[in-house]
């Protein structure tokens, strides 16, 4: 029984989500007796709903191989969460309709917690509607907040980027502190969990090294304690490096970035967490600051991807196909750590029901008692995830990232589907 | 006649200023019959004024070699401009006094236009005071604004960082544009000249590719024209990538970042150029944006340094010592481009008087007629400068940057010198 497969990317993209796509497609191509063509959704699940799909069988082996080292989402991703079955059953039914029209028997959904929930629901509904489809999630998120799996593909590379950038900027600031910037602030992603901010802690071996202060979403931000720490740090080292998560929150649980602090003219302060912290430092301590906001640079920085992360991203894509072919339904491959030192990992799997809509926060034992640093337990967990470099090929000084033809699959349904 | 040498770093550091230090020190070590020890100023020229110097002869060959791949300023740099001879003759006299006390016959000053001016004045005053000292400038600046030399060591690496980051972030934004961010803005350095912003243009091969809009300090910013271009770009591509120089200016010549635009609540807008542009896009076009501020990350990103840049940074350090030993005084080595394709360069030299206090702006022919892009002439100039990768060694996933002992030189003068 040969069936086609559908693959889609969901949510914020990462430096290695295409490596997972590569794992899915290359592995499917090795099983042509069971899997016909792999269709990819343009702009994620929206591509399935609107019958806007790419036929990956039209791509050369070389083009598919280039996905392993190309950041972004090769087929387009989407921030689009299907509602509950009761609220919008039409969307789920449409998915099944499209799958049926294109003889799709496998659904590979590459995303985070929300996407695992969607994949889970599709598998249930398919059975109800008499169109059984094998649904396998492929884990992806820079936030590292999926449960069960030891870590998430996508995280290791952003962690490496943040650790390397913190190290480099710290050397810069240290060498200029005598006459210039005293406080440098780097804002990183992580609206709910502090995993990315924690990775900055790898840049220093001891508490005296930069980064001197990390502001986690998990730890309530107290202005006075923070400022006292900055002042002491500048007193001791002549400079202070602060890494702030965009998710850092005040005691009243508003984000730092939403704070209504006022500037010298009484105007409300806008801007991100870094700017709020910077103005706070200047207003209260009178210290010269600079700040950087890594934003999308951090999650697209394939040029400094973690080799472990690339390998795991590929492995979960490959495992997803293998699980599907082994008849597993409504599951997700996981990364299982079998040893810390030396670091060893293998691929396991878990039911989608166990990962859907659940967030894994940083455990309290990963954050120092004072709330400003990572612990050695955290370091032991994080360090292997940024190991190894996996450089893309270069041409004329720039990474020679791949580009697909993205040939469309001819639509078969007459009825268009309106999103929303 | 054996004399010691003094080396100092000045102004903002770069990813490769230590490669120049490496070139100076390794070359000096090859001429031990003429150059005794190389002393380095702690915190740049301040170290000479306050007799706070590091004895680099105490460092192993391996430690000195590690400078080639270590960002920041290994001995500390300083934003400290000596005043004119008439205004503060005491500082210049103090320098000569320190040089005399430590038998220093060579002065290597690694910096930009201001520093070349200082080196020039020191050479003049030494002669007047009967203590002739050979002064050679070593060019360094991420801004690429020194005249005479084809380009400045430090620029090629920041250019590569900016081009790579723009390319990567653009792939990210492109893949999410359907349902998420439509306009992405990257703010880069360059308060006076747009060289760094121009480098972002290397990320795209044609005008349709990202970056779609570059805002240069050399081109007056007109809000209406800019917004029209953003709207057209989003209409055409579904997204728009903007690179803004921190030096972009309004028609009244104020920096964009100083603009008194007001938010929805009538509050004055603070923040950098990226934020100002972002709020403008949102307020007028209602498009979702994200922005990144590279700040120090861009000039310290040794992990993605240009191989050409590293080689040239080393070469100007080496040439500085060779020029000094050849009896040249008050000169600076330059990079001379002898061919575009294939790119070939060699080291020349120029009198310090010709580079002191002069800024090289982007020529108008390097900017497209509409002011939003680079021309093919600009591309031809820039492209060779980002060529090649020169990766540092890694340990446990992080660059294994060098660290020196920085053993102090025992002071010989009784009189302390107060900076001011």
Q: In this complex, is the C-beta atom of B74 within 8 Å of any C-beta atom belonging to chain A?
A: yes
Please tell me the distance in Å from A280's CA to the nearest CA on chain B.
Answer: 14
Which of A44, A76, A295 is facing B292, going by the closest CB pair? Answer: A295
Query: What integer pLDDT is reported at residue B419 of this predicted model?
Result: 80
**Per the CB < 8 Å rule, is A80 touching B174?**
no
- Residue to mutate among A296, A380, A382, A384, with most B CBs inside 10 A, is A296
What's the complex ipTM? 0.96
Residues with Cβ within 8 Å of B403's Cβ and at least 6 positions away in sequence, in order, are B63
Chain B residues within 8 A of A301 when measuring between CB atoms: 165, 168
**Which member of A55, A117, A143, A390 is catalytic?**
A143
The pLDDT profile of chain A, 420 residues, written as one tens digit per residue, is 899 999 999 999 999 999 999 999 999 999 999 999 999 999 999 999 999 999 999 999 999 999 999 999 999 999 988 888 788 888 999 999 999 999 999 999 999 999 999 999 999 988 888 998 999 999 999 999 999 999 999 999 999 999 999 999 999 999 999 999 999 999 999 988 999 999 999 999 988 999 999 999 999 999 999 999 999 999 999 999 999 999 999 999 889 987 554 444 454 444 689 999 999 999 999 999 999 999 999 999 999 999 999 999 999 999 999 999 999 999 999 999 999 999 999 999 999 999 988 889 999 999 999 999 999 999 999 999 999 999 999 999 999 999 999 999 999 998 888 886
Annotation marks residue A309 as catalytic: no
Alpha helices in B85-132 (DSSP H): 89-101, 113-128
Using DSSP's 3-state secondary structure scheme, residue A80 falls into: coil
**Per the CB < 8 Å rule, is A172 touching B71?**
yes
Long-range contacts of B252-260 (CB under 8 A, 24+ apart): B256/B215, B256/B221
Chain B residues within 8 A of A178 when measuring between CB atoms: 43, 46, 76, 78
Using DSSP's 3-state secondary structure scheme, residue A151 falls into: coil
Longest dimension (CA), chain B: 73
Query: What integer pLDDT is reported at residue A271 of this predicted model?
Result: 61
Query: What integer pLDDT is reported at residue A344 of this predicted model?
Result: 98
Q: In this complex, is the C-beta atom of A48 within 8 Å of any C-beta atom belonging to chain B?
A: no
A195 C-beta neighbours (distance < 10 Å), count: 33
Please tell me the distance in Å from A202's CA to the nearest CA on chain B.
Answer: 8
Please tell me the distance in Å from A166's CA to the nearest CA on chain B.
Answer: 8
Q: Nearest 5°: CA angle at B66, between B61 and B70?
A: 155
Please tell me the distance in Å from A357's CA to the nearest CA on chain B.
Answer: 21
* Angstrom distance (rounded) from CA A55 to CA B82: 66
Chain B residues within 8 A of A114 when measuring between CB atoms: none
The dihedral formed by the CA atoms of B30, B34, B40 and B44, expressed in degrees to the nearest 10 = -120
Which of A202, A301, A397 is facing B398, going by the closest CB pair? Answer: A202
Question: Quick check: bond before A36 cis, omega within 30?
Answer: no
Query: What integer pLDDT is reported at residue A259 of this predicted model?
Result: 54
**Per the CB < 8 Å rule, is A401 touching B291?**
no
A residues 249..268 contacting B (CB < 8 A): 263, 265, 267-268
Say if residues B363 and B216 touch (Cβ distance below 8 Å): no
Q: Tokens 């980027």 identify what position?
A: A161
Say if residues B3 and B103 touch (Cβ distance below 8 Å): yes
Q: Tokens 């310090």 identify what position?
A: B352
Sites in chain B below the pLDDT cut of 70? 259-271, 420
**Per the CB < 8 Å rule, is B292 touching A293?**
yes
Q: In this complex, is the C-beta atom of B291 within 8 Å of any C-beta atom belonging to chain A?
A: yes
Report if pTM > 0.95.
Answer: yes
Q: In this complex, is the C-beta atom of B205 within 8 Å of any C-beta atom belonging to chain A?
A: no
Query: What integer pLDDT is reported at residue B259 of this predicted model?
Result: 54
């Amino acid at each position: 029984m040969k069936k086609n497969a559908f693959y889609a990317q969901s949510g914020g993209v990462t430096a290695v989500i295409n490596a997972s796509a590569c794992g899915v497609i290359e592995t499917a191509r090795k099983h042509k007796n069971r899997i016909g063509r792999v269709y990819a959704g343009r702009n994620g699940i929206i591509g399935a709903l609107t019958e806007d799909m790419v036929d990956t069988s039209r791509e050369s082996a070389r083009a598919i191989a280039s996905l392993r080292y190309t950041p972004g989402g090769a087929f387009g991703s989407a921030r689009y969460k299907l509602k509950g079955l009761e609220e919008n059953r039409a969307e789920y039914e449409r998915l099944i309709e499209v799958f049926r029209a294109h003889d799709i028997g496998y659904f590979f959904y590459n995303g985070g917690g929300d996407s695992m929930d969607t994949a889970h629901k599709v598998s249930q509904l398919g059975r109800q509607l008499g169109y059984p489809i094998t649904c396998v999630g492929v884990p992806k998120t820079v936030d590292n907040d999926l449960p069960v799996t030891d870590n998430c593909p996508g995280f290791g590379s952003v962690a490496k980027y943040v650790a390397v950038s913190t190290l480099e900027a710290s050397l810069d600031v240290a060498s200029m502190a005598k006459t210039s910037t005293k406080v440098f602030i780097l804002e990183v992603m992580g609206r709910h969990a502090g995993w990315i901010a924690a990775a900055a802690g790898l840049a220093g071996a001891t508490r005296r090294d930069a980064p001197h202060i990390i502001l986690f979403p998990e730890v309530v931000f107290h202005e006075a304690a923070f400022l006292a720490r900055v002042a002491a740090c500048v007193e001791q080292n002549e400079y202070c490096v602060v890494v702030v998560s965009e998710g850092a929150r005040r005691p009243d649980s508003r984000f730092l970035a939403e704070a209504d602090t006022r500037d010298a003219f009484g105007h409300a302060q806008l801007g991100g967490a870094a700017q709020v912290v910077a103005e706070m430092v200047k207003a209260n301590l009178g210290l010269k600051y600079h700040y950087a906001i890594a934003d999308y640079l951090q999650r697209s920085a394939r040029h400094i991807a973690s080799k472990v992360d690339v390998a795991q991203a590929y492995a979960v894509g490959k495992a997803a196909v293998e699980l599907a072919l082994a008849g597993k339904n409504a599951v997700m491959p996981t990364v299982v750590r079998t040893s810390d030192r030396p670091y060893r990992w293998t691929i396991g799997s878990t039911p989608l029901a166990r990962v859907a809509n659940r967030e894994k926060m940083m455990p309290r034992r990963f954050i120092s008692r004072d709330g400003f640093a990572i612990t050695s337990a955290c370091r032991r967990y994080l360090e292997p995830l940024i190991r190894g470099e996996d450089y893309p090929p270069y041409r004329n000084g720039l990474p020679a990232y791949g580009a697909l033809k993205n040939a469309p699959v001819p639509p078969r349904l007459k009825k268009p589907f309106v999103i929303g």
